[in-house]
Structure 1
Amino acid sequence: MRPVLAAPVPDSDLPLAATGSPWGADGRWVLTNGPDVAPLKRRLYLARPLPTDQPPPDVVEGPDFRRIHTGMDGLVDWSEFCFTPTYRTAVAGTAFEVDQAEWRTLRVTSTGPVLLHVNGELLLHADTVTYMEPAEHEVRVWLPSGISQVVITSWQVGFRECRQVVRLRVGGLPVRVVIPSPGADEWVAAEAERVLNAVGTPTWGTTNGEVTLTGPEGARLRVGREVVTLTDGRATVRLGEDAAGAVGSASMLASGEVVLRVSVDDDRSPVFREFPVAVLPPLYRPEPVGPPEQWRAELLAHVRATTPSVATELAGGRVRAAALERSLWMIANRADCADFEAVGLLTLLHRVEDWEPGLRDEVRAALLGFKYWIDQPGLDAMCYFTENHQLVWHTAEMLAGELFPDETFGNTGWTGSAHAEHGRALAAEWITRRLAGGFSEFNSNAYLAIDALALVSIVELAADAALVADARELLDRILTGLSVTSWRGVNGAAHGRSYVNTVRSSRFEETAPILWLCYGVGALNAAVLPATALATASRYEIPAAPASQELVTVSSSGEYRFEHDLLSRPYGSDVVVYKTADVMLSTVEDYRSGLPGLQEHIWGATLGPETQIYVTHAPNSSTSSSARPNAWAGNRILPRARQFRDVVLALYRIPPDDPMGYTHAWFPLSTLDWWEQRGVWTIGRRGGGIVALACEGGARIVTTGPDAYQELRPHGPGTAWVCVVGDPDPAEPEFWSDGVRYRDLSLDWEGP
């Protein structure tokens, strides 16, 4: 494949009004919501279609084409999060051989417009645009005997998460893929494919920079510049110095991963595999050490050592231009998540006196020219409609207006006082609704931190006493709620929204630094702005942790409103949390069962920061944050799950036309002290905690690929799973040679 060619989308290309009401069929609201923007994307494509009169490139591996090995979904994936509107064009090609000329059916799958060339002839020009699940197009083609070249040109336009994928399937008898590669030997390459198909990485995360590879005995492998030989089927490699930048990376859009490129040690083979490995933040604490003053000092020292940002300046007490470069770029370009930066900059203006000359005025000018809500002028793809973004926007607008009450804000022409009142009313309404019913993004280990950032900023900086009191009450609920839904520094309860890296390791959770500051547990990573705002607060006092409860249910309910959420329906969740000293189990019960999923983490067992065990219905092979849902975060179709104390029963529906056709379990064996399979059960122990997971027919351990010894695949249909947790107490489940002996359970329900 070729890399993406990207270009900004000029406002003049957007057939939308930049002023007036943002609503209606042609309103600018569509720019900020992935599913609704597909018709607009198609209009943009029809205005600037791919050129059809240009010959396709020759498919030869080299500078123009990079070889890739797709996942089980067969998708070539260029997906990326686009902070500003971006045109994206990419090319993928292949060559295959048939012995006898014949008619074949080619099935091209894509999320955007494509051109399909076969042997230089344009056979398909499709202009369909989808959000996450790609559309399929069929073409009948006469293939001559010998080698045929196929080139697919892909077009997309990115507004925030951009899913850009293509796939080619050839109907009929098998074909032989013969991608031209100068200097390659096809027999050596074929043997290399066999070897590499058996290689795996049994541990996704590392704290010491060492990664284990498994595979065929005696295989000589190149890993970057290093050559290793597998002895007893294993070898250890060290990550290069370029991995240092990934350490501690923690964002809902960043994975903290580096990629190991592995090939056989033979120049005649061009094939390779890529294995993502996470560099884990090393600072994790399961139990409090020292007093709260120590936790605060540890957090602030950690923040000052991170990449320069608003948070480092807030922790250090001096504001340098280099630290604000990214924040000011985001505000100037109206990039998505610029609202987070605006709140951070406003906090700096209030809290820090020592600024580089001229920098304070630069920040002031940026804030006076910014857009603060969807009803204000401007064409952009900033997100206004998820729960966390709403409050951050209202907070930023209110605080900016209160800080500059008599100034004229250039984007609207309003005074600061008018902006303050506009933001204050919306913030008050948002907080009142959450005090009454709770969160739609329930217990999100990414977005509760963002809610906390906005709320502590209101408590510290806002002028309205009643609003400050309500914000303080809601923030108290968030922080004490985090204590309730966390176990040994892991926010392991079910989540309304989450990402792959955070459900594989709690060290990446956005809430982890907050837990460290407030309760002396958790982890220190790069997601430090919310925790830093809390640590430097002078008005707000962190509430004491509530008494631990073995079993608790946390419920939320409310109403979505279209002009705030782009949905008009009720929401609700009932999260069950069971905790002992050794293990935690949590489920959101009957949550929209049988309906399409997005980023919900429905249930999971937790025995450690990297020992989080759960099952998903995979829609694809991706782990990208721009695939929602993906292989390990969210479900294609949400299951029906019920929990009784230490047991979860979960039922999954897999349609006959399901693109992947399976459920699978994350069960990272390397993080356990002991494990084994007995009958249909896979059982593991870490410390004093025990977990047992079963499905009909049992499950096999995947032993190759990036999820080796971490993934379980069911032998049977995989539509029903049971998970039991326990500890050495005799009252807990007993694990025998033929399975798990436990009380009888049944599950009854009405409906689908």
Structure 2
Amino acid sequence: MDARSGFLTHYLYSGPRLSPFEHEQTDKNQIRYEQYLRSIIADKVELAPVLAEEIAIGAESPLGQPWQYLYPCSGFVNFNLFSYTLQKVELLAAAALTVAEDLTVRANVWTYTAIDIWLNGSKVSSAANPVYKPIMKQEIELPLRKGSNTLVIMLQNLAVRDTRNIFGIQLLEHLDRITAGLPDAAAAEPYLKLDQWLSEITLTGNELLLPPDPPCAVYIAYGEGIDPAAAKDITGLRRVAVEQSEAEALIYGIVDGKRLSRQIELLHNRVPVYRSVADTSEAKAAVFEELAAIGATGSFEPLRFGLFYVLARWNLGKAGANDHLHISRAIEQIERREDCSDFHLAGLLRLMDIHKLPAELEQRAEQAILNYRYWMTENGSDGMCFWSENHALMFYICAYMAGSRYPDRHFVRSGRSGSEVKAVALGRIRDWLTDVECWGFEEFQSTDYMCVTMGALLNAVDYMEQDEAERAAALIDVIIKSFASHAFRGSIVTPQARIYRSVILPFTQAAQSLMYLLKPDAPAGNSEWLAFLMNSRYQLPYQYAELMDKPLDIEYPTGNAWVKLYKQPRYLLTSVQSPRYDAAPVYWDNISFEEYADIESNEYVKSFNERFHGTTRFEPGVYGYQQHMWYAALDNDTVLFTNHPGELADEVGMRPGYWYGNGIMPAVKQQGSTLGAIYAIGEEHPVAFTHLFFPEAKLDSSLHDGHWLFGEKDGGYAAIWCSEPLQPYHDKLFHCEYRAYGRLAAYLCKLGSVDEFGSFEQFQARCRELAPQFDARSMQLSAGEFGVVQYVYSSNKTQYV
């Protein structure tokens, strides 16, 4: 049990069991459709599915799977997964609570899923309908009897796209009178000891410091997988030097044939890669050759974008041994209408236009194209996401290209001819282009999703008439210009509407490939979507390369967001303002809740996306999703930022995650090289802390002094102040995280340089003169000439999906 939060952290589990889920119900509103499916997914169960004495490690549960020890567990039992098709998820978990005398305890149950909980065989909690967001909270009472008490938890959920199979039990009182344990206690003891031993590992410099007396043989291995032949026995050692070239170490032990391993990311070994090329044409050739090499040789292994690499190879006049298998798999994904199959379809249509497929594949592809569901209002049911900015355009351009290819054929799901499909798609594409030209991108600066959008726009450039092609090309220019403006020493450092964990190392982001193509001395990158650039009519705007090294002080709207950027030779600071501070903010309105809204209109689809994926109207107190609010940089691999995590532990895959997105949006205000942020986390969110990403291993020097943190690198300076004590914390990353515990915290970030302040010590003194103050009653942060950040609670309603 976590002594600070009260979350239980030790469980046995069985599952998850996944089974196909089909239902005849259809709906033109995909969110409403998925809400309905969630409402019927869970079976009603009154009796506990298993007795305490039947729970034993290795024994089979009623799900037909063995009971196992859960590791790691931060407090949430988290089996978050991505499901490309509709499935049902079932999971069992169990824990034990021991008390010296009878005791009734209040507890919170946090869950996204349907959940039933039994205590000593009696049901104490039930939630029948899963939700996508936000997490549900239910306060319950646990009547504990003297001795050991067994909790049995049954989880049921609808698996569709990113699926939150997550629950947590949080004790609210009497923590000092309760001992948390497990059923089958004797068999669980070795696992608990190994868990404890792994948790006490620390990292200093390039050495792992190991606790004494491991409960079993322990090993170190490197990389994402564990090759037993490459693992090194470190049993009995107290210090282990890690390999200089490795990015990740795994320390593990084995109990009863089961491996418990702790992942440790060696951030100091994660550095940008540079290619030695002469010019931009050589850089482009290197990128295309690298794409073409993926999956070209060896035995067939399914790849997420295997067809894209085939496209790259065939465009270079090469062939791989398994190319037809990669194409066949992509067609199968399209036939099954998996989520993201529109991406594969965009690549298939492009491939078929340029190259000839074998007859059998050609016939299968044709049938898949004619039977595809090109929009959520067409006949059929599946779990595809249609409405995000990148998906919407992708579906539209796929429909346009498919209709163009088969103008006289019957398209099954819409009942239209190919010519009619093309005409409908043309109108939707024009509306999409007009909207983005007017308002800017909703998924602005997303280093992942803007690559997808670029792929769709490249298809528009190459397969549409001149007017639409030129408009699409102009929007790609906008994407690349914006990324170039936010580049710092070659890496893209920018606030983003949708981001993943690569935010901690910006040179690893997918869109970094575009910066490398513009300026080959930038950190190298690659993205499978660059295969669409091959043989394209689109010409890269190399003139924007000069923006990558140019000092900038700019601000601009995009969607409903207002972005600020202050870039100097030795540092960069950038953010989304929350709320907007521009003189007369103009917002577009969300119409997705209006009963008579035109569900076929682009305005509705855009509103639908905001409702599901969070908000692009950045306001304090709103539930977040994947939005990255602010960034400071002292180098292309050295960034700082704060966020309110959506989870309790690093890299368990939810949106919002631990380092990306925000559970609850903060107030943010930037003026030049200074930024203030205020976080107010309500009681309806389970994560009661905020944290700072501060990678000390990447800095030349750093100092933690009371409420202040200071760092310097290459003549650039950064200062962070927090209203709450900043406490170092180590999870997958060491010496990178400081937590501010509590539901209310204010941060101040100030950047500077040797050119502006002289020595690092002089910079620190000037920062302290700002004397930041946070008034929790007025919700105001003030700091000298910086002025005031005011937290104003949003009037936006939280939307449940």
Distance 1:221 1:712 in 2: 29
Distance 1:303 1:454 in 2: 19
In structure 2, the CA distance between the partners of 1:694 and 1:475, relative to structure 1 (3 Å rule), is same
CA displacement at 1:238 relative to structure 2: 9.6
Match of 1:747 among 787, 795, 799: 787
CA displacement at 1:473 relative to structure 2: 1.2
Distance 1:638 1:616 in 2: 8
Q: Does 1:605 align with 2:632?
A: yes
Task: Give the gaps of 5 or more residues in structure 1.
Answer: 32-36, 204-210, 241-246, 248-257, 558-570
1:503 maps to 503
Decide whether the 8 Å contact of 2:114 with 2:126 is kept in 1. yes
Select between 188-197 and 538-547 the one with higher mean Cα deviation: 188-197
Q: Deviations over 1:105-152 (max 9, x none)?
A: 454332222222333444444314232343234444543433222210
1:310 maps to 307
Q: Greater RCO between the two (CA within 8 Å, min separation 6)?
A: 1
Distance 2:449 2:132 in 1: 23
Query: Counterpart of 2:536 in 1: which secondary structure?
Result: coil
1:207 maps to none
CA displacement at 1:192 relative to structure 2: 5.1
1:555 maps to 556
For 1:579, the aligned partner's letter is K
Distance 1:749 1:147 in 2: 51
Match of 1:275 among 260, 263, 281: 263
Distance 1:368 1:652 in 2: 50
CA displacement at 1:56 relative to structure 2: 4.5
1:513 maps to 513
Q: Does 1:213 align with 2:201?
A: no
Query: Counterpart of 1:441 in 2: which secondary structure?
Result: coil
In structure 2, the CA distance between the partners of 1:130 and 1:99, relative to structure 1 (3 Å rule), is same
1:545 maps to 544
CA displacement at 1:649 relative to structure 2: 1.6
CA displacement at 1:600 relative to structure 2: 0.8
2:486 maps to 485
Decide whether the 8 Å contact of 1:285 with 1:489 is kept in 2. no
Decide whether the 8 Å contact of 1:334 with 1:382 is kept in 2. yes
1:244 maps to none
CA displacement at 1:76 relative to structure 2: 0.5
Decide whether the 8 Å contact of 2:97 with 2:178 is kept in 1. yes
Decide whether the 8 Å contact of 1:623 with 1:633 is kept in 2. no
For 1:583, the aligned partner's letter is Y
For 2:531, the aligned partner's letter is T
Query: Counterpart of 1:735 in 2: which secondary structure?
Result: helix
In structure 2, the CA distance between the partners of 1:669 and 1:71, relative to structure 1 (3 Å rule), is farther
Distance 2:506 2:268 in 1: 10
CA displacement at 1:297 relative to structure 2: 0.9
In structure 2, the CA distance between the partners of 1:552 and 1:338, relative to structure 1 (3 Å rule), is farther
Alignment TM-score, normalising by the size of structure 2: 0.78
Distance 2:58 2:694 in 1: 39
Query: Counterpart of 1:652 in 2: which secondary structure?
Result: strand
2:671 maps to 644
1:322 maps to 325
For 1:4, the aligned partner's letter is P
Distance 2:620 2:459 in 1: 37
Alignment of 1:258-297 (within 5 A): 260=250, 262-263=252-253, 272=260, 274-275=262-263, 277=265, 284-285=272-273, 289-297=277-285
1:344 maps to 347
For 1:544, the aligned partner's letter is Q
In structure 2, the CA distance between the partners of 1:322 and 1:635, relative to structure 1 (3 Å rule), is same
Q: Deviations over 1:597-649 (max 9, x none)?
A: 11110001123454221101224215557522232211122122222222222
CA displacement at 1:423 relative to structure 2: 1.0
Distance 2:187 2:371 in 1: 57
Q: Deviations over 1:54-87 (max 9, x none)?
A: 4347332236222124554x11011112111111
Q: Deviations over 1:157-191 (max 9, x none)?
A: 022121111223455353223425687595x7776
Query: Counterpart of 2:686 in 1: which secondary structure?
Result: coil
Match of 1:618 among 642, 645, 649: 645
In structure 2, the CA distance between the partners of 1:694 and 1:412, relative to structure 1 (3 Å rule), is same
Query: Counterpart of 2:333 in 1: which secondary structure?
Result: helix
Distance 1:279 1:395 in 2: 40
Distance 2:151 2:643 in 1: 34
Query: Counterpart of 1:439 in 2: which secondary structure?
Result: coil
Q: Deviations over 1:26-46 (max 9, x none)?
A: x44534xxxxx445412333x
Distance 2:369 2:36 in 1: 33
For 1:532, the aligned partner's letter is A
In structure 2, the CA distance between the partners of 1:151 and 1:504, relative to structure 1 (3 Å rule), is same
Q: How many residues align?
A: 690
Match of 2:571 among 577, 583, 604: 583
For 1:690, the aligned partner's letter is Y
In structure 2, the CA distance between the partners of 1:700 and 1:119, relative to structure 1 (3 Å rule), is closer
Select between 230-239 and 584-593 the one with higher mean Cα deviation: 230-239
Q: Deviations over 1:382-438 (max 9, x none)?
A: 111111111111111111111222222232232211111111111111111111221
CA displacement at 1:362 relative to structure 2: 2.3
In structure 2, the CA distance between the partners of 1:234 and 1:692, relative to structure 1 (3 Å rule), is farther
Q: Does 1:735 align with 2:735?
A: no
Q: Does 1:724 align with 2:764?
A: no
For 2:755, the aligned partner's letter is D
Match of 1:228 among 207, 231, 234: 234
In structure 2, the CA distance between the partners of 1:65 and 1:724, relative to structure 1 (3 Å rule), is same
Decide whether the 8 Å contact of 1:287 with 1:488 is kept in 2. no
CA displacement at 1:100 relative to structure 2: 2.4
Decide whether the 8 Å contact of 2:717 with 2:763 is kept in 1. no
Query: Counterpart of 1:406 in 2: which secondary structure?
Result: coil
In structure 2, the CA distance between the partners of 1:352 and 1:672, relative to structure 1 (3 Å rule), is farther
Distance 1:344 1:365 in 2: 16
In structure 2, the CA distance between the partners of 1:116 and 1:593, relative to structure 1 (3 Å rule), is closer
Query: Counterpart of 2:754 in 1: which secondary structure?
Result: coil
Task: Give the gaps of 5 or more residues in structure 2.
Answer: 1-12, 60-65, 222-230, 296-302, 579-617, 771-783, 794-801
Query: Counterpart of 1:3 in 2: which secondary structure?
Result: strand
Distance 1:2 1:478 in 2: 46
1:406 maps to 408
Alignment of 1:166-185 (within 5 A): 166-170=167-171, 171-173=173-175, 174-180=177-183
In structure 2, the CA distance between the partners of 1:182 and 1:223, relative to structure 1 (3 Å rule), is farther
1:67 maps to 69
In structure 2, the CA distance between the partners of 1:679 and 1:468, relative to structure 1 (3 Å rule), is same
Distance 2:243 2:44 in 1: 47
2:533 maps to 534
Alignment of 1:42-191 (within 5 A): 42-45=39-42, 48-50=43-45, 52=47, 54-56=49-51, 58-62=54-58, 64-69=66-71, 71-72=73-74, 74-105=75-106, 107-170=108-171, 171-173=173-175, 174-180=177-183, 186=189
Decide whether the 8 Å contact of 1:192 with 1:271 is kept in 2. no
In structure 2, the CA distance between the partners of 1:2 and 1:466, relative to structure 1 (3 Å rule), is same
In structure 2, the CA distance between the partners of 1:109 and 1:436, relative to structure 1 (3 Å rule), is closer
Q: Does 1:635 align with 2:636?
A: no
Decide whether the 8 Å contact of 1:372 with 1:397 is kept in 2. yes
For 1:597, the aligned partner's letter is G
Q: Deviations over 1:275-328 (max 9, x none)?
A: 264899989457994211111111011101224612211211157222224422
Decide whether the 8 Å contact of 2:117 with 2:126 is kept in 1. yes
Query: Counterpart of 2:543 in 1: which secondary structure?
Result: coil
RMSD between superposed Cα atoms in Å = 3.5
Distance 1:670 1:218 in 2: 29
Decide whether the 8 Å contact of 1:201 with 1:706 is kept in 2. no
Alignment TM-score, normalising by the size of structure 1: 0.83
Decide whether the 8 Å contact of 2:574 with 2:630 is kept in 1. yes
Match of 2:451 among 415, 427, 449: 449
Distance 1:589 1:717 in 2: 21
In structure 2, the CA distance between the partners of 1:410 and 1:602, relative to structure 1 (3 Å rule), is same
Distance 1:178 1:361 in 2: 59
2:32 maps to 30
In structure 2, the CA distance between the partners of 1:473 and 1:539, relative to structure 1 (3 Å rule), is closer
Q: Deviations over 1:632-682 (max 9, x none)?
A: 211122122222222222222233565222211011222223322244332
Distance 1:340 1:733 in 2: 52
2:737 maps to 711
Decide whether the 8 Å contact of 1:432 with 1:470 is kept in 2. no
